[in-house]
Structures are given as structure tokens and as C-alpha cells.
Amino acid sequence: MGGSSSSQQAAQSETPTFLTQEELSKLKSEFGTGGVGKVKPLLEKKVKELANTELNIAVTGEAGAGKSTFVNAMRGLRSEDEGAAAVGTTETTMEPTGYPHPNLPNVRYWDLPGIGSTQFTAGSYLRKMQFKKYDFFIIVSAGRFREYDGKLAKEITWLGKRCYFVRSKIDADLYSMRRERKEFDEVAEMEMIRSDCISALGKAGIPNPTAFLISSFEPDRYDFNRLKEALEGDLTNIKKRAFILALPIESVEIVRKKNEILKKDIWMLATLSGGAGAIPIPGFSLACDIGILIRAIIHFRKYMGLDDASLHRLANRTGKPVEELKAAIKPLLLGEITPDVIARLGWGTAVVTVSALELALDSVPVIGSIFGAGSSFLMTFKILRDALKDLTENAERVVRAAFEIN
């Protein structure tokens, strides 16, 4: 009795993917009157909404501050990669320029001209730059933050948007200091620079400012992870999902965050695969919608950075041969995903030993076991769960190989 109750409480404590309470209630109601067939249109709409969620991030700052390099780093690109923002020391445009993420085109970083390079006031600048379209703003500086940075930040906050301050090129600053001084304490020097930034922003009228010290060439060092966590923490659930899935795999922690998000999608995809048209996968006695299954695995692989294009971009950024990164991955995961590959990888082989109730409690808290009755659901759920686990483990090995993490 106690064990069953604790299992249910643990399941209930998790949020069942990115559904509102209203959506959950409607799912229960529709299932009660029409079963899975009536629920499918609601889930199809939700899956489409998740896939099409837009996230627009504005990046502004003086020419030469490193905006373009930052935009590229956040998308896992270097300047020579296809789709990269052009890097230079002069302002090349007076209009917002959008750069979509290579795998999630609905996630865009917008390179805005620095307010110091325009003749606009903070208010007119934001109107010109169409501030309403952006979810938040990042102000980048390679040195001291200026008075107009403070005025812009206050205007952004007054208009109800979040604003973040990024001090770029910290690696170059520390390198110069290290060359000039016999005794050098990197932590102490960074703290002095951070305090100087906060002091300047305070004088500009920003209450309780925070400055992130980063190098766009070393995204696994300094304050880059703190910045990503801050951006993630201030987003709503559905926007946070898009942000995390768009992050380059630069740490084991990022890989695991993606895993947690994608696990919450599996029950929806499994439900959609049930019903008429299900086809047995070679080597399995149960059937499922193979099209939904394979599309999901391909997307999981891309989100985890294990597709060929992502691996080449990671190799370019880290200076590692792409063959070395691919050597950390099971060969079958690198090619075309087919029913035969699924069978050879052994995904779903133990499905008959897993009860519908256990699956439902693990994947669909609050709703309970209402989707756990069909064999198509069980087959798809187990294959996707095994596939995601396998892809996550392989992505972790790639991160360790790319960044030489033990």
C-alpha cells in the first residue's frame, strides 16, 4: 500500500508535458466520452503548437562588442559556418537582422544595431526595432557599459520585457592582465571586472543589476552557463522548452535537460501512434505507427546534436576531428533510421514485461492510466523511451570527447 501510494505521488508531482490545467481537463473529458479517437485531435494540435513555438531573442550593443560572435555561439556556430552572422568591428546594418537556429528555425536571435550607433532616444529606438516581437533583450559590451545602455535597459524594463547585461571578450581581458602581472588571480580579477560593471549599471539607474562575463569562444567557461540558466529560468514552460532544445550540446547537464524535456513528449507521441493503420515492426509482435515513431527518433537525434550537420559544427567549434566525435556514437545511430535499425538496436524488446499502469504512472501523471490500454501505445512508448535513453548516453559521450571531460 505504502509503495503504491508513493509511486503515484511521485508521478503526480511531475508536470505532464506542457499542458495547462484547462487542457488536461479537456483531455479527460474527451477521453471519457470518445476514447483515444476523440483525444487524438487535441494532442495533434498540442504537438504542432510545441513544434511551432517561436522564441525571439534580441541582442544589441556597440559595434565591435562581439554581438555577432555571441549570436553564433548561442546557436553552436562559428563565423565560417553556413547561416552564421557576419563578424566585424563596424556596424553593418541599421535594421534588425534575424538568425534562425540551424535545427529549430522558430528560435531566432536578432542582431540589433547598438543604440550608441543611432540617433534615436531609447524609446524611439525600441519602436524602430519592433521591441514587441522579442521575448527578451541582451545588451552586450566589450568594456564599460555606457549611459545609453542604462537608459535602454530602463526603457525595456518599463515596457515589460526582461533585459540582461553581457560583458564579452573576458578571455582577452584576462590574457592581457596575465601578461602584465607577475602574480595573477583569475577569480579575483573577474570579480573586480564584475563589480565594475555592476557599479556602472547602478550609476546608470539600474536597480540590482547582474552582469555576465563571457567568452563566446569558450562557452563552457566563465559565466556562460550562468547566463543560459538565467535566460532559461525567466521563460514560460513552452518557451523554456524551445530554448533548451536549441542549446548546443556543450555540457552533460544540457544533454540531460534535453532528455527530461523530450521524455515528457513521449506519451503524446505514443498515444498518436495508436489505432488504425498500425503496422508491426520486424522482430516485434506489437504494432505502431512507424511514421510517427521514426520522425520522433530523427527529431530526438537532432535535438541531441547527433545528426551529421550538428556533429560537423561541433567539430569545427572544438577543433576535434569529426571522426573522433562519431567514434563515441553507436554506428547504427549515425545512419538512416529504419524499422530494421530499431529492431537491431533492441529498442522495445522488453515491452511485454512492462505493465500499462507502470508506463502510465511514469509518463502521464494526473491523467493516470487512461492511455495505457492499447498495445500500439505500449510499443511506441517503450521504443521511444529506449531510443531517447540510448541517444542521451551517446550525446553525453560526444560532449566528453569534444570538451575532454572525464
- Examine the domain organization and report whether 81 and 165 are in the same domain: yes
Q: How many domains does the chain fold into?
A: 2
Which residues have C-beta within 8 Å of that of residue 178, sequence separation ≥ 6? 184, 186
Largest CA distance in the chain: 77
Both 127 and 265 in one domain: the answer is no
pLDDT of residue 90: 60
Shared domain check, 191 and 73: yes
Distance CA 281, CA 340 (A): 8
- Output the nine-digit C-alpha cell for 351: 515491452
Residues 394 and 264 in one domain: yes
Domain boundary among 244, 264, 284: 244
Q: Is the pLDDT of residue 286 over 90?
A: no
**Which pTM was predicted?**
0.84
Answer with the one of 193, 220, 244 that is the final residue of a domain: 244
- Select the highest-mean-pLDDT range: 75-79, 243-247, 375-379, 400-404: 243-247
280 and 194 inside one domain: no
Question: pLDDT-derived band of residue 391, with 50, 70 and 90 as boundaries?
Answer: very high
Same domain (yes/no): 260, 230? no
By residue range, what is the domain housing residue 375? Answer: 2-51+249-403
- Residue 277 is predicted with a pLDDT of 53
Same-domain status, 167 and 130? yes
Render the burial of 99-119: b for 16+ CB within 10 Å, e for the rest: bebbbbeebbbbbbbbbbebe
CATH number of the domain that residue 71 is part of: 3.40.50.300
CA distances in angstroms from 279 to 42, 71, 293, 341, 342, listed in the order given: 23, 44, 11, 16, 14
Q: Quick one: 231 and 203 in the same domain?
A: yes
Among residues 227, 244, 261, which one ends one of the domains?
A: 244
38 and 61: one domain? Answer: no
Is 103 in the same domain as 234?
A: yes
pLDDT for position 350: 57
Provide the residue count of the chain: 406
CA 2 – CA 5 distance, rounded (Å): 5
pLDDT for 2-61, tens place per residue? Answer: 343 433 343 333 445 677 777 777 777 776 676 667 777 788 888 888 888 999 999 998
Whether 46 and 60 map to the same domain: the answer is no
Q: At what angle do helices 356-363 and 252-273 cross, to 10 degrees?
A: 130
Q: Are residues 365 and 273 in the same domain?
A: yes
pLDDT bucket at 166, cuts 50 / 70 / 90: very high
